[in-house]
Amino acid sequence: MNTILLMVLSFVGYIIAYRLYGRYIARKILITSDKNLMPAHELKDGIDYVPTRKSIVFGHHFTTIAGVGPIVGPAIGVIWGWLPAFLWVFLGSIFMGAVHDFTTLVISARNKGKTIGDLTGNIVNNSTRFAFQFLIQFLLWMVLSLFAIIVSILFVKHPESVLPVWLQIPIAVWLGWQIKNGRNELVYSIIAVSLMYVSIIIGTYLPVEIPFKDHKELTWSLVIFVYMFFASTVPVQKLLQPRDYINSHQLLVAMVLLVLGIIIARPPIAAPAINPAVHAPGSDIPDLMPLLFITIACGAISGFHSLASSGTTVKQVNKENDSLLIGYGGMILEGFLAVLVILAVVGGLGLGLEKGNITHTGINAFNTQYSTWKGIAAGLDISPKLEAFVIGASNLLSRLGIPVQVGTALIAVFVVSFANTTLDSATRIQRLSLQEIFKTKKGTTIKPVNNRYFATFIVVVLAALVTFYQLRIKGALELWRMFGALNQLLAALGLGIVSIYLYHKGRNYLVSFIPMLFVLTVTVWAMIKNILKYYELGNIVLLIIAILILILTGWMLTGGIGSLFTKGRR
């Protein structure tokens, strides 16, 4: 199979899916209308609820949901072979992920912008709302801890990315100020993106390294958490929106460069379609079912996306019909990004891999990079998989005349920028979700949690404690399996809430119910395997968390089924 053919097939398929299936759901299932009053107008406060142009909200939403998920997951998932990884990303994003993101965004908008956890109380019952919100807190806790560690690892491994990543902040603030003063959005965005790429070239020659030999990752994590606190408490239009807008342009540029690199280089797929090592005697690679479906999350379907849709995005959407592009379109664009990541790993990596003064090419490059599998089976080592993408992508960019050193910096900045964007939004979403948990029947939040600074401080400190503990024992990345399972579990439950909503409205609920059954089945299966593994390893902490998550899931499912009989159809 040629990488160009696979890329073209996926791109055309996504366009067709958007125009046919996406519009079908909008017009026939959700029946969207610009006559519906959006929360951004109804609850406008200038901090979280801010009506914003569609293009800017799309940029914010896309950079929020993208993060490192559609990069890390596919880069790991290809260990089972490029074919199952590709099929799960392509079909999953069209029929599951995009449906999940789009429907939760619209339903949240029709419930005053409540998060998916809070609106569960309206659609199911108040008891189930608490179960969902606690699951959300678990997920976001892991997102903040894991992504902070990943960013720290990348800063240490690629010090050339440090300067341009932090320079994005003043560039974004400047862009936000210009747009607020009525400047041309497109022109000033191009200037901002150009400044960012200049900073990448400068960063290549001015790498920034932490002077502490043994505590580099810990130091960077501390800096990141301090930044997260301030970035997630300032009004969205001052930093979050303009920086996400810059990052959306950065992403589009990076994707265009990868597409051109694939077209020019025309690398063959230098990886097995189905990896025979999975079933080899004594292999430490676990079976594809069900673990592929929790390893590749973002890029196919992700529960975090419903938190983004109903957490920050919905509070900025200007018109309901904008939701199709933002929700469904944002997800299939992420799916295409995941496809490009797969092609960079299974194709670009084969163009050349330097290991031990030896240049490996073709299938040897893939086998060398993935020769030791310590991931899902025995505590995840993400770093080599991230490097597989960075090396493969920089190889493709080098075919465009971009020096490998600059290309590596560009890709590293690209990955870190999106991880930081997710951290900003996830912190804000967790703060809002935490405040909803402490909301009274009168609709007010109990003091002092109602204060956004206090609530954000609690969120950041708890995540930091987990991060510092895991860094100290060198075991943080083994949480990826738990994160993946919980993430997909929330996606299934989110689709369940959508199904109940559509059932009550007398609409075709099968578009969400069938994907829910599939994702719920493979995820609960994976969770049970996790519990058995944690028990075998004697990991009491993760064992208790996994059991609590299954109990909360059972609680939610019972409440959901009960609501079908008590509320009926309207």
d(CA 371, CA 349): 14
Determine how many CB atoms are found less than 10 A away from the CB of residue 423: 24
* Distance separating alpha carbons of residues 65 and 335, to the nearest angstrom: 11
Q: Residue 384, Cα to own-chain centre: how many angstroms?
A: 20
The neighbouring-strand residues paired with 550 are none
Helices (H), 370-479: 383-398, 404-437, 452-473
Domain count, the chain: 1
- Contacts of residue 561, defined as CB under 8 A and 6 or more positions apart, other chains included, come to none
- Partner residues linked to 268 by β-bridges: 2
Q: To 10 degrees, what angle do helices 510-537 and 540-566 make?
A: 150
Q: What is the pTM of this model?
A: 0.87
Beta carbons of 269 and 3 less than 8 angstroms apart: yes
Distance CA 75, CA 387 (A): 9
Domain span at 47: 3-566
Q: What is the dihedral of CA 35, 40, 43, 47, to 10 degrees?
A: -170
Backbone φ and ψ for 358, nearest 5 degrees, come out as: -120, 135
CATH code (residue 425)? 1.20.1740.10
Sequential pLDDT tens for the chain (570 residues) = 689 999 999 999 999 999 999 999 999 999 999 999 999 999 988 877 889 889 888 887 887 787 778 888 899 889 889 999 999 999 999 999 999 999 999 999 999 888 888 888 778 777 787 888 888 888 888 888 888 888 888 888 889 989 998 998 888 888 888 877 878 777 888 898 899 889 988 998 899 888 877 778 888 989 999 988 988 888 777 777 777 777 777 888 889 999 999 999 999 998 889 876 665 555 556 677 888 898 898 889 999 899 888 878 999 999 999 999 999 999 999 999 999 999 999 999 999 888 878 888 888 888 888 765 544 443 345 677 778 898 999 999 999 999 888 888 888 888 888 777 778 878 888 888 888 888 777 667 788 888 889 999 999 998 888 787 766 655 545 667 778 888 898 899 899 999 999 998 999 999 999 999 999 999 999 888 888 877 887 777 778 888 888 888 888 788 777 776 665 555
Cis ω before 286 (30° cut-off from 0): no
Contact 427, 437 (CB under 8 A): no
Torsion of CA 269, 274, 276, 277, to 10 degrees: 80
In which region does residue 148 sit, left (phi positive, over 0), alpha (psi from -120 to 50) or beta (all else)?
alpha
Q: Which residues pair with 355 in a beta bridge?
A: 358
The full DSSP string for 175-190 is: HHHHHHTT--HHHHHH
